[in-house]
Amino acid sequence: MRKYILKRVLYMLLTLFLIATITFFLMKLLPGTPYQNQDKMSASQIHMMNVQYGLNKPVWQQYLIYIFGMVHGNLGISFQFSSQPVSYLIATRIGPSLQLGIQAMIVGSILGILLGAIAAIRKNTWADTLATLLAILGMSIPNFVFAVLLQYILGFKLKLFPIALWDNFSSSILPTIALAMMPLAETARFMRTEMIDVLNSDYIMLARAKGLTQAGVVWHHALRNSLIPVITLAGPLAVNLMTGSMVVENIFSIPGIGEQFVKSITTNDYPTIMGVTMVYSLMLVVVILIVDILYGIIDPRIRLSGSEVNA
């Protein structure tokens, strides 16, 4: 198992390196320059700035300098925020984003699994219809629409939660709900299909023949087996949450990394774009690694064949 994880970590590093390379060159293709008041600047001023930020060197040199810095933990200096180091910018802003993402992931997947399981157990009843309807709504309505609706109804009309503020836990509830809708809907839809399949299988029939009640069958046998394919969703859902949080953070004016990312792209803040991309990529590969390890824990067939191969 340890050897397996070690191997996976090496692959992760390779993946991150490739992402860094591709992002770097793609970013260089972005139109425009980092200087917002460029038309008021003289040619020599621009040249001076370029020299200061190392933008006068050939692209391949810039690339090597960047990769060298990144390996040593130096993500460069932000262009837009009074010359703050990017690593500092990220460190101060990642907290709210992580909190929001993890909350949305937990709420979305747990409620989704529950909703999907109920829909499967009560197949073709009103509960199933309601769950399916919710899933379709969750998938087809973009999270920024949810965000605004929640702000209007729960924040503005009912005054239950702050509209756009970031201080205590209650201010994180609305953005979490808005962000969790998509994972919730996806998980519910997937879970329902899997659970129906599992509930029709022979071993569930035999579990009933053993004298297990419906609840016992679901709890002891059906849930775990239905979860195996659902876990695969965690990777794509994590991506979804990251991109979703960029918009949602903006709507609720949360000082998170997503909001930062959007700003840095519009201002061609190269080091910040790179830094935030790398942080997102790191989170994603870690999520994928966790998913693979979880797979092994939930499905003994994978666990054992994995340890045999890597023993």
Partner 1 sequence: MENILEVKDLTVNFGTFAGDVQAVRGVSFDLHKGETLAIVGETGSGKSVTTKAIMGLLDSNAKVASGTIMFEGQDLLKASAHEMATVNGNSIAEIIQDPMTSLDPTMTIGKQVSEPLRIHKSMSKEKAIARTKEVLELVGIQNAAARMKDYPHQFSGGQRQRIVIAMALVNYPKILIADEPTTALDVTIQAQILNLMTELQQKIDTSIIFITHDLGVVAGMADRVAVMYAGKIIEVGTVDEIFYDPKHPYTWGLINSMPTLDTKADRLYAIPGTPPDLLDPPKGDAFAPRNAYALKIDTQQAPPFFPVTATHAAATWLLHPAAPTVTPPPEIVRRQAIYQQMIAKGFDQPNNPAVKLNTPATDQ
What residue ranges bind partner 1 (CB under 8 A)? 201-203, 205-214, 216, 220-221, 224-225, 228, 298-301, 304
Q: Which CB sits closer to partner 1, 12 or 302?
A: 302
Q: How far is the CB of 304 from partner 1 (least distance, A)?
A: 7
Residue type, 208: R
CB of 220 to partner 1, least distance (A): 8
Rounded CA-CA distance 99/103 in Å is 6
Closest residue by Cα to residue 108 from 20, 189, 228 = 189
Q: How far is the CB of 200 from partner 1 (least distance, A)?
A: 9
Least distance between partner 1 and beta carbon 117 (Å): 16
What are the distances in angstroms from CA 105 to CA 109, 165, 183, 285? 6, 21, 7, 16
Tell me the HSE value of 154 on the side-chain side, using a 13 A CA sphere.
Answer: 19
The rounded distance, in Å, linking the Cα atoms of 67 and 44 is: 28
In this structure, which amino acid lies at residue 270? Y
* Helical packing angle, 126-140 and 86-121, nearest 10°: 160
Q: Which is nearer to partner 1, 39 or 202 (CB)?
A: 202
Judged by beta carbon, residue 37 or residue 124, the one nearer partner 1 is: 124
Measured from the CB atom, the residue of 49 and 212 that comes closer to partner 1 is 212
Six-digit token string for 278: 């790398």
Q: Which of 206/286 has CB closer to partner 1?
A: 206
Type of residue numbered 247: V
In the complex, the smallest distance separating the C-beta of residue 213 from partner 1, rounded to whole angstroms, is 5
Contact 188, 119 (CB under 8 A): yes
State in angstroms the smallest separation of the CB of 123 from partner 1.
8
Closest CB to partner 1 among 31 and 211? 211
